[in-house]
Amino acid sequence: MVMPLRHTLNALLLETIPDHIPTALAGKVLPKLRVIRSIHITAKPRRPIWFQWGIFRTVEVFIANYPNAKGYWESALKDINKLKKAPKLKHFIFITHNSKIKSNPILVELFKAWGIVCHFRTEMNHIDVLNFIDRLDEVVVESKTLEH
Rounded-to-10 torsion of CA 2, 120, 64, 50: 90
pTM of the model: 0.86
CA dist., res. 78 & res. 94, Å (int): 18
The residue among 49, 107, 51 whose CA lies nearest residue 75 is 107
CA dist., res. 59 & res. 137, Å (int): 14
pLDDT tops 90 at residue 33: yes
pLDDT tops 70 at residue 144: no
Residue ranges per structural domain of the chain: 6-10+17-123
Residue 8: the pLDDT is 81
DSSP symbol at 117: E
More confident residue, 46 or 143: 46
* Tens of pLDDT, residues 79-111: 767 778 899 999 999 999 999 999 999 999 999
Residue 83: the pLDDT is 76
